[in-house]
């Protein structure tokens, strides 16, 4: 019986382990909990805010639970007659209390959720004292299983890597040439879907220079794991210099070349001195079927992907 008693105590250790794990987070440097931009920051704030409520709930329930199973187990030594009341079956006051408290918690969670939701539809507001910058427009288009980033202002296009200026909002215009995917750069903020036949907008911003991981987070077939890209956040000057260099030195993206790239498969990083935006508009009803009609046969073939490192084409 003693062993059983101890085991039940074990359950009580769960909340402790949670706190232990959470304190471990700091060392583990988990991406979502280390925001590198205002969008990720606002989501981080929301997560941490909710986490306090959740911890509160967990502590209350675990404490009550531990108390009940220790105090009211049948063969606890020293049980009293008054510890058993088989006919106790309800209490309106207490039911109302434990209905109202969760309602209040839901209200407290809803308010920042809704305000954050509306904020995320707009470019991030600059910190106090800084000037408001026009967002940089980047068209992020996916095709199985690669990323095209088109910069209409600079008239350049990159494949599978992304350069952005830090401290300036980026307006991503997301679309897909075929399957549904999602642009996710956890260090900079949450994701949104890329869909053929429509365009979604996602605002992100880096407030620290650095290299971040970006990927497609929505499963879309065999090459899904390889559909990643690096994000280079750099100063405005460096970014402009880079754009200038691509514009001058990279080859032209012809319509034929773009068609080749659209075929399902993996590709290494590439740069072009113009964009594909004039060739085909994947986000329109007319353009959304372009790839599946053109490459109907290729979609039947398999990649037989084992380890991504072994794929030479992929870096």
Partner 1 sequence: MHITDILVTGEPIIYGAMVSMALGGLAILFVLTYFKKWKWLWREWLTSVDHKKIGVMYILSALLMLFRGGVDAMMMRVQLAFPDLGFLNSQHYNEIFTTHGTIMIIFMAMPFLIGLMNIIVPLQIGARDFAFPYLNALSFWSFFFGMALFNISFVIGGSPDAGWTSYTPLSGAAMSPGPGQNFYLMGLQLSGIGTLATGINLMVTILKMRAPGMKLFHMPIFTWSTLVTCFIIVFAFPILTVALALLTIDRIFGAQFFTLTGEGLPMMWANLFWMWGHPEVYIVILPAFGIFSEVIATFAKKRLFGYNVMVWSMIVIALLSFLVWVHHFFTMGAGAFVNSVFSVSTMLIAVPTGVKIFNWLATLYKSKIEFTVPMLWSLAFIPSFILGGVTGVMLGMAAADYQFHNSYFLIAHFHYVLIAGTVFACFAGLVFWYPKMFGHKMNERLGRWAFWLFFFGFHVCFFPQYFLGLDGMPRRLFITNVAEWLPLNVISTVGAVGMALGFVVFVYNVYYSFRYSERETTGDSWNGNGRTLEWATTTPVPYYNFATVPYVDEIDPYVRMKEEGKTTFEEDEVKPIHMPSYTGQPFIFMALLGLASFGLIFEWMYLAVFGLIGGVVMMIRRSFDYDDGYYVSVEEIKETEKKARGL
Residues in region 168-197 near partner 1 by CB under 8 A: 174, 178-180, 182, 184, 186-187, 189-193, 195-197
Q: 80: buried, middle or exposed (CB in 10 Å: 19+, 13-18, 0-12)?
A: exposed
CB atoms within 10 A of CB 259: 16
Q: Which letter does DSSP use for residue 308 in this model?
A: G
Under rule CB under 8 A, residue 73 binds partner 1 = yes
Greatest CA separation for the chain? 89
Q: Does 16 bind partner 1 (CB under 8 A)?
A: no
> CB-wise, 116 or 270, nearer to partner 1?
116
Out of 131, 249, 252, 293, the only residue in the binding site for partner 1 (CB under 8 A) is: 293
> Does the protein bind partner 1 through residue 139 (CB under 8 A)?
no
Region binding partner 1 by CB under 8 A among candidate stretches 44-52, 160-168, 237-245, 270-278: 44-52
Nearer to partner 1 among residue 24 and residue 251 (C-beta): 24
Separation between Cα atoms, residue 307 and residue 156, nearest integer Å: 32
**Stretch near partner 1 under the rule CB under 8 A, chosen from 79-87, 164-172, 245-253, 273-281:** 79-87
In angstroms, give the least distance from the CB of 219 to partner 1: 4
Check: CB of residue 42 under 8 Å from CB of residue 169. no
Considering only residues 238 to 277 of the shown chain, the ones binding partner 1 according to CB under 8 A are none
Q: Which of residues 105-134 bind partner 1 (CB under 8 A)?
A: 105-106, 109-110, 113-114, 116-118, 120-121
Neighbouring residues of 54: CB distance < 8 A, sequence distance ≥ 6 = none
Interface residues for partner 1 in 216-245 (CB under 8 A)?
217-225
Near partner 1 by CB under 8 A: residue from 215, 239, 258, 265: 215
Report helix, strand or coil for 209: coil
DSSP string, 21-44: HHHHHHHHT-GGGS--SHHHHHHH
Pairing of strands 146-151, 210-216: unpaired
């Amino acid at each position: 019986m003693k062993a059983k008693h101890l085991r039940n105590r074990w359950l009580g250790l769960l909340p402790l382990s949670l706190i232990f794990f959470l304190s471990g987070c700091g060392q583990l440097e988990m991406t979502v909990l280390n925001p590198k931009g205002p969008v990720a920051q606002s989501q981080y704030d929301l997560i941490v805010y909710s986490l306090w409520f959740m911890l509160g709930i967990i502590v209350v329930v675990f404490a009550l639970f531990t108390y009940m199973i220790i105090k009211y187990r049948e063969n606890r030594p020293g049980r009293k007659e008054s510890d058993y009341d088989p006919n106790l079956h309800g209490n309106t006051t207490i039911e109302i209390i434990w209905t109202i408290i969760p309602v209040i918690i839901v209200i407290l969670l809803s308010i920042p959720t809704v305000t954050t939701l509306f904020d995320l539809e707009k470019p991030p507001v600059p910190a106090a004292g800084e000037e408001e910058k026009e967002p940089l427009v980047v068209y992020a288009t996916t095709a199985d299983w690669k990323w095209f980033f088109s910069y209409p202002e600079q008239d350049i296009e990159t494949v599978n890597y992304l350069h952005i200026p830090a401290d300036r909002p980026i307006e991503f215009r997301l679309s897909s040439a075929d399957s549904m995917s999602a642009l996710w750069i956890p260090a900079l903020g949450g994701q949104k879907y890329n869909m053929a036949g429509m365009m979604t907008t996602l605002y992100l911003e880096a407030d620290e220079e650095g290299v971040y991981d970006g990927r497609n987070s929505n499963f879309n077939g065999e090459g899904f794991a390889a559909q990643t890209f690096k994000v280079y956040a750099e100063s405005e000057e460096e970014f402009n210099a880079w754009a200038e260099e691509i514009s001058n030195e990279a080859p032209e993206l012809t319509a034929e070349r773009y068609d080749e790239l659209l075929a399902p498969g993996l590709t290494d990083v590439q740069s072009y001195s113009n964009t594909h935006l004039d060739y085909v508009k994947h986000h329109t009803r007319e353009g959304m079927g372009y790839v599946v009609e053109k490459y109907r046969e290729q979609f039947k073939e398999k990649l037989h992907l084992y380890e991504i490192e072994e794929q030479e084409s992929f870096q």
